[in-house]
Amino acid sequence: MAVRSGELLFVKSVKDGIPNRDPLNDSDARRLFDEEDGRISLSDVSIKRDVRDYVLARYPDGGPEKNCFIFVREEKTEDGKLLGRGSLAAGIQSASGRSGSMETVLKQSAFDVRVFGAVYSVAKQSFQVTGPVQFGWAHSLHPVETRYVQGTVVMPSADVTKKNDSDASEGKQQGTIWTTYTLPFAVFLMPGVINAQLAVQTGMSEADVDLLLEALWKGTQYRQARGRGLQQPLFLLHVEYSDPFFRIGYLDEYVRLLPERDVWRSPHPPTSVSEVTLDVTRLAEVLQMHRDRIARVRVWVHSSLAVRGELIGEKPPLW
């Protein structure tokens, strides 16, 4: 079955960390909104990295059909040098056993090229693939105040050197001090779209859509780093349209997180999923209003999340 045009909504929470830091702001959270608004944001690049890392970990050899390789990734030579686009593409071509133009080989062999697209410019070869799946920025559903914290690493930065018992470098006997920004708890919502016409051009399949949805959910749990915090996928909505040229659009604007923003600005804001509720009442009304243009709706909800409102559609089990 051909891929249908559609829209995605993905909600996840984070505790004790910042999933996407801003290097231009002392590695604090990214802020696209002003101070009065208070929301923080995650780039689509960060979300795509979660998806790519999960697919790469699950199918390091490209999968049974040799079509789940990841092109946009970090790989190094034995002497520690980063491989460029040409070498990465050549490695995928060799591992997949496919022949033809590099654009064709990557579309057939690399999951992320079929789904997200790619830019390729090596020597005399150059092409651009526009991906059928595009994510918007993920924004917190409430104001966020980050905290500046400090700590000490016990391990010294270098070996202690002495010439005699009375001569030692005191600085190198001590651990190093670290500082960072963090946040106790936040809930993010990310929208996305799928374009049926572009899916035909890249060769994206329905199996690719299913793997994308799985990777959004499980990739959030899989990709770990201390500074990124503990993350949990909470809610995933996939709406498919019967008309490839129709889209409701901006589904994220029909979703609210309770309690309201004044509670998040108070001295005691929520600090766990059990203290919040996702209100999809308005979203349910909008989907019902356009039901004749919708081919299928699928919804995944984590058991820890309270949801207000009843959405139409299937409710498959979690992965």
Q: Are residues 193 and 81 in the same domain?
A: yes
Q: What is the length of the chain?
A: 319
Residues 6+ apart with CB under 8 A from 146: 18, 28, 29, 40, 181, 182, 183
**Is 113 domain-assigned?**
yes
CB-count burial class (<10 Å; 0-12, 13-18, 19+) for 113: buried
Q: Are residues 66 and 108 in the same domain?
A: yes
Q: How far apart are CA 152 and CA 287, in angstroms?
A: 52
Residue listed under structure tokens 């708890």 = 185
Last residue of a domain, one of 135, 164, 181: 181
Tokens of 232: 């949990």
Q: Are residues 155 and 224 in the same domain?
A: no
Radius of gyration of the chain (CA): 23
Residue 116, pLDDT above cutoff 80: yes
Tens digits of per-residue pLDDT, 40-55? 999 999 899 999 999 9
Residue 304, pLDDT above cutoff 70: yes
The reported pTM is 0.89
Residues 6+ apart with CB under 8 A from 143: 37, 38, 39, 261, 264, 265
Q: Are residues 165 and 278 in the same domain?
A: no
**Is 110 domain-assigned?**
yes
Residue 223, pLDDT above cutoff 90: no
Residue 229, pLDDT above cutoff 90: no
**Is 317 domain-assigned?**
no
Instruction: Answer whether 71's CB lies under 8 Å from 113's CB.
Output: yes
Instruction: Answer whether 234's CB lies under 8 Å from 305's CB.
Output: yes
- Percent of the chain at pLDDT exceeding 90: 75
Last residue of a domain, one of 131, 163, 181: 181
Q: Are residues 171 and 267 in the same domain?
A: no
Amino acid, single-letter form, for residue 203: G
Q: How far apart are CA 302 and CA 217, in angstroms?
A: 10
Q: Are residues 156 and 293 in the same domain?
A: no
Tokens of 164: 């005699």
**Is 315 domain-assigned?**
no
Mean of all residue pLDDT scores within the chain: 90
More confident residue, 35 or 245: 245
Q: For the ranges 227-236, 247-256, 286-295, which has the lowest average pLDDT?
A: 227-236
More confident residue, 156 or 109: 109
Q: How far apart are CA 194 and CA 274, in angstroms?
A: 32
**Is 51 domain-assigned?**
yes
Residues 149-172, mean pLDDT to the nearest whole number = 61
Q: Are residues 268 and 279 in the same domain?
A: yes
Q: Are residues 176 and 250 in the same domain?
A: no
Give the per-residue pLDDT at 150. Answer: 62
Helix (H, G, I), strand (E, B) or coil at 17: coil
Residue 23, pLDDT above cutoff 70: no
Give the per-residue pLDDT at 163. Answer: 58
Give the per-residue pLDDT at 41. Answer: 93
Nearest alpha-carbon partner for 111 in 161, 70, 164: 70
**Is 40 domain-assigned?**
yes
Residue 30, pLDDT above cutoff 70: yes
Number of domains forming the structure of the chain: 2
**Is 162 domain-assigned?**
yes
Residue 132, pLDDT above cutoff 60: yes
Give the per-residue pLDDT at 176. Answer: 73
Last residue of a domain, one of 181, 198, 229: 181
Q: Are residues 107 and 160 in the same domain?
A: no
Tens digits of per-residue pLDDT, 271-297? 999 999 999 999 999 999 999 999 999
Is the link from the previous residue into 259 a cis peptide, with omega within 30 of 0?
yes
Q: How far apart are CA 299 and CA 10, in angstroms?
A: 10
Tens digits of per-residue pLDDT, 62-110? 999 999 999 999 998 888 889 999 999 999 999 999 999 999 999 999 9
Domain housing 176: 147-181
**Is 316 domain-assigned?**
no
Q: Are residues 135 and 208 in the same domain?
A: yes
Instruction: Answer whether 138's CB lies under 8 Å from 47's CB.
Output: yes
Q: Are residues 212 and 113 in the same domain?
A: yes
Q: Are residues 164 and 228 in the same domain?
A: no
Q: How confident is the model at residue 222 (pLDDT cuts 50, 70, 90)?
A: confident
